C-alpha cells in the first residue's frame, strides 16, 4: 500500500457526548504519528464548516489543550445537525477537499452522518480524487447498529446509575412508604439510556432502586404504573422511578405532550415525561412526588464520565487514522467489538459505511424483564464493562477546566458558498 500524502480534516457532528472530544484527541494524536499527513485541520461546526471552508489548524494547538480534550464535554470544534440537502453540497465538499489537499477526512457522528459520509466517499471515487474517508461513531443513544456499542453511551449510563444511587440514599433517608421521586433521562426514541439505570442495582438485589424503569419501548399504561408504584411503596420506604424522555402512551403519543401547560402568555408548552408522571402519582395516589431532569446536563457530565468509554472513544479516533493511513481504507466506519476473552476487552474493527443501517439499533426486548420495568442479567452483563473507571478532570480553584480550541484559521481559498 503506497502512502497517500496530504492533509487531514476532522469534524464533529450531532449532539455532543461526554467523550466525543476524546475521539477528536485520538485522531489528532494519531495523525501526528504519520509523516504522510502534513497538516491536521479541524472543521468548525461539522460539515457546515467544511462547506464554508471554516477550517482551523489543529497542529498549532498546545499539547495541553489536546490532552485536556480527553476530559472536556461538548464538541470542541463545534457541531451541527446539518445534512447535505443537494448534490451541490457534496460537490462543494469535494472542492474544499481538493483546494486544501485534504486526503483524509474523519467524521465523528451518528448513523445519519455515516450515510452522508458514504455519499461523499462515492463522489470522491467517481471523480477519481484519491482520498480516505472514515467515520467514527458517537452517540449517547447507543443506537448505531453496526457496532457493539457507541462511544458516549458508557459515560451517560455511568452518570445515570450514579445519580440513581445517590438519589436512593437521599430518598431512603426521607421516605417512610410515601416518597416518590422520578429521574427523567434522555432518549427520545429508545430506552438504552433509561435501561442503564439498572446498573445501580447491586447484584442479586432486584428490589434495589431504580424500582421502576419506564422505557419508550413499552407503551405507558397508567393503571399498571399506579399498581407498580403502590407495590413498591408497600415494600420499600420510597419509590424511585427512571423514565426515558420518549415515553409513549398506548396510542403511541409522547406522554410529555400530555403534560402540556399554559404559560404566562396563554401559550401551550410541553412539560417532560417526568413531570407527567409526577402528575399521575400525585393525583392518583395522593402522595407527593418530585422529579429531576438530567437533560443536556447528563450528556455533558464529563465530571462523571467512564474511563473505559473515554479510552474507547480515543481508540476509535486513533483507529480511524490507522485504518486510513496504514491500511488504505476508505468508506468505512470504525466499530467497537468485544474481543473473544474471559474478561471484557474492546477492539476496534470497521464496517462499510453502506452497511451501517439507517435504522436505530433497538434495545433488545429479551433484555427487558417480563414485569416491563426492569432489565435482566444479559443487559447488565452487556453494559457493566462500559462504565468502568473514572475520568479525572483538571480542577482549578474548585472547578473543572475544559479545553478550548484556540482555532487558528486556515486561509480560505474558494469563493463563499450558498448553503
- Annotated binding-site residue numbers: 15, 245
Minimum CB distance to its own copies, residue 295 (Å): 4
CA distance 208 to 223: 23
Dist. CA 315–CA 153, nearest whole Å: 15
d(CA 202, CA 119): 46
Q: Identify each DSSP E strand in 44-80 by its residue range.
A: 55-57
Among 3, 91, 126, 166, binds its own copies (CB under 8 A): 166
Decide whether 121 or 275 has the Cβ nearer to its own copies.
Answer: 275
Residue from 262, 343, 359, 365 in contact with its own copies (CB under 8 A): 262
Please tell me the count of residues contacting its own copies according to CB under 8 A. 82
170-175-179 Cα angle (round to 5): 100
* 170 near its own copies, judged by CB under 8 A: yes
Q: Binding site membership for substrate: which residues?
A: 245
- What's the rounded Cα separation, in Å, for the pair 196 and 294? 14
320: which 3 cell numbers?
480511524
Site for its own copies (CB under 8 A): which residue of 234, 358, 399, 416?
399
- Least distance in angstroms from the C-beta of 2 to its own copies: 37
Residue selected from 2, 63, 398, 415 as contacting its own copies according to rule CB under 8 A: 398
Q: Of residues 12-31, which lie at the interface with its own copies (CB under 8 A)? A: 12, 15-16
Residue 63: Cβ within 10 Å count: 9
In the window 185-204, what residues touch its own copies (CB under 8 A)? Answer: 199-200
Interaction between residue 174 and its own copies (CB under 8 A):
yes
Q: Which of 9/68 has CB closer to its own copies? A: 68
Q: How do strand 238-244 and strand 212-214 relate by DSSP bridges?
A: parallel
Which is nearer to its own copies, 162 or 369 (by Cβ)?
A: 162
Q: Please report whether residue 208 would count as binding its own copies according to CB under 8 A.
A: no
Considering only residues 367 through 396, tell me which ones interact with its own copies, judged by CB under 8 A. 384, 387-390, 395
Q: Which of 397, 411, 416, 418 binds its own copies (CB under 8 A)?
A: 397
Kindly tell me which residue out of 162, 354, 369, 376 binds its own copies, with binding defined by CB under 8 A.
Answer: 162
- Near its own copies in 214-233, by CB under 8 A: 222
Among 37, 51, 183, 336, binds its own copies (CB under 8 A): 183
CA-CA-CA-CA torsion sign (48, 400, 33, 318): negative
**CB 89 within 8 Å of CB 74:** no
**All 3 cell numbers of residue 311?**
479510552
- Give the residue, chosen from 234, 264, 358, 416, that forms a contact with its own copies under the rule CB under 8 A: 264
260-262 vs 268-270, strand pairing mode: antiparallel
Binding mask 273-312 for its own copies (x = CB under 8 A): --xx-xxx-xxx-----xxxxxxxxxxxxxxx-x-x----
Residues 122-161 that bind its own copies (CB under 8 A): 158, 161
Q: How many CB atoms lie within 10 A of CB 52?
A: 18
The upper half-sphere exposure of residue 46, i.e. CA atoms within 13 Å in the direction of its Cβ, equals: 22
Residue closer to its own copies (CB basis): 306 or 348: 306
362 Cβ neighbours under 8 A, 6+ residues apart: 143, 190, 217
172 is an interface residue for its own copies by CB under 8 A? yes
Secondary structure of residue 41 in the 3-state scheme: strand
Dihedrals phi, psi of 46, to nearest 5 degrees: 60, -145
78 binds its own copies (CB under 8 A): yes
**Shortest separation between residue 158's beta carbon and its own copies, angstroms:** 6
The reply on whether position 335 binds its own copies by CB under 8 A is no
Distance CA 394, CA 391 (A): 10
CB nearer its own copies, residue 327 or residue 394: 394
* Helices (H), ranges, 54-110: 63-69, 87-99
Helices (H), 200-272: 222-235
Q: How far is the CB of 282 from its own copies (least distance, A)?
A: 7
d(CA 215, CA 399): 34
Nearer to its own copies, 198 or 324 (CB): 198
- Residue (37 or 183) nearer to its own copies, CB: 183
Q: Does 241 engage in binding with its own copies (CB under 8 A)?
A: no
| 75 lines the binding site for its own copies (CB under 8 A) | yes
Q: Which residues are annotated as a binding site for diphosphate?
A: 15
As given in the structure block, the three cell numbers for residue 372 are 416491563
Which residue number, 64 or 269, has a Cβ lying nearer to its own copies?
269
Query: Residue 157 belongs to what H/E stretch?
Result: helix 153-174
Amino acid at each position: 500500500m503506497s502512502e497517500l500524502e496530504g492533509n487531514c480534516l476532522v469534524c464533529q457532528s450531532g449532539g455532543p457526548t461526554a467523550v466525543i472530544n476524546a475521539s477528536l484527541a485520538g485522531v489528532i494524536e494519531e495523525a501526528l504519528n504519520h509523516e504522510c499527513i502534513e497538516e491536521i485541520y479541524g472543521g468548525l461546526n461539522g460539515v457546515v464548516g467544511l462547506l464554508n471552508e471554516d477550517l482551523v489548524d489543529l497542529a498549532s494547538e498546545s499539547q495541553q489543550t489536546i490532552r485536556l480534550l480527553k476530559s472536556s464535554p461538548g464538541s470542541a470544534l463545534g457541531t451541527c445537525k446539518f445534512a447535505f440537502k443537494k448534490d451541490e453540497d457534496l460537490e462543494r465538499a469535494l472542492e474544499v477537499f481538493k483546494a486544501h489537499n485534504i486526503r483524509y477526512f474523519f467524521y465523528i457522528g451518528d448513523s445519519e452522518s455515516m450515510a452522508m459520509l458514504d455519499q461523499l466517499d462515492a463522489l470522491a471515487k467517481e471523480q477519481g480524487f484519491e482520498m480516505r474517508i472514515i467515520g467514527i461513531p458517537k452517540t449517547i443513544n447507543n443506537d448505531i447498529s453496526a457496532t457493539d456499542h457507541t462511544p458516549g453511551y458508557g459515560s451517560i449510563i455511568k452518570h445515570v446509575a450514579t445519580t440513581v444511587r445517590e438519589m436512593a440514599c437521599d430518598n431512603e433517608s426521607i421516605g417512610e412508604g410515601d416518597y416518590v421521586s422520578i429521574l427523567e433521562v434522555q432518549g427520545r426514541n429508545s430506552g438504552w439510556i433509561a435501561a442503564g439505570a439498572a446498573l445501580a442495582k447491586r447484584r442479586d438485589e432486584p428490589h434495589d432502586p431504580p424500582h421502576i424503569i419506564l422505557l419508550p419501548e413499552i407503551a405507558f399504561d397508567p393503571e399498571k404504573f399506579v399498581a407498580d408504584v403502590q407495590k413498591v411503596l408497600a415494600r420499600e420506604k420510597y419509590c424511585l422511578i427512571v423514565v426515558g424522555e420518549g415515553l409513549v402512551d398506548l396510542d403511541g403519543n409522547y406522554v410529555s405532550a400530555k403534560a402540556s401547560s399554559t404559560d404566562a402568555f396563554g401559550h401551550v408548552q410541553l412539560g417532560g415525561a417526568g413531570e407527567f408522571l409526577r402528575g399521575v402519582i400525585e393525583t392518583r395516589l395522593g402522595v407527593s412526588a418530585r422529579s429531576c431532569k438530567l437533560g443536556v446536563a447528563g450528556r455533558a457530565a464529563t465530571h462523571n464520565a467512564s474511563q473505559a468509554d473515554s479510552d474507547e472513544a480515543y481508540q476509535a479516533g486513533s483507529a480511524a487514522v490507522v485504518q486510513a493511513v496504514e491500511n488504505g481504507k476508505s468508506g468505512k466506519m470504525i466499530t467497537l467489538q468485544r474481543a473473544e476473552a474471559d474478561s471484557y476487552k474492546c477492539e476496534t474493527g470497521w464496517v462499510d459505511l453502506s452497511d451501517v443501517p439507517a435504522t436505530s439499533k433497538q434495545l433488545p426486548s429479551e433484555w427487558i424483564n417480563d414485569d416491563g420495568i426492569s432489565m435482566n442479567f444479559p443487559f447488565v452483563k452487556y453494559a457493566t464493562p462500559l462504565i468502568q473507571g473514572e475520568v479525572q478532570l483538571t480542577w482549578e480553584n474548585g472547578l473543572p477546566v475544559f479545553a478550548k480550541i484556540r482555532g487558528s484559521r486556515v486561509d480560505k481559498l474558494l469563493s463563499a458558498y450558498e448553503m
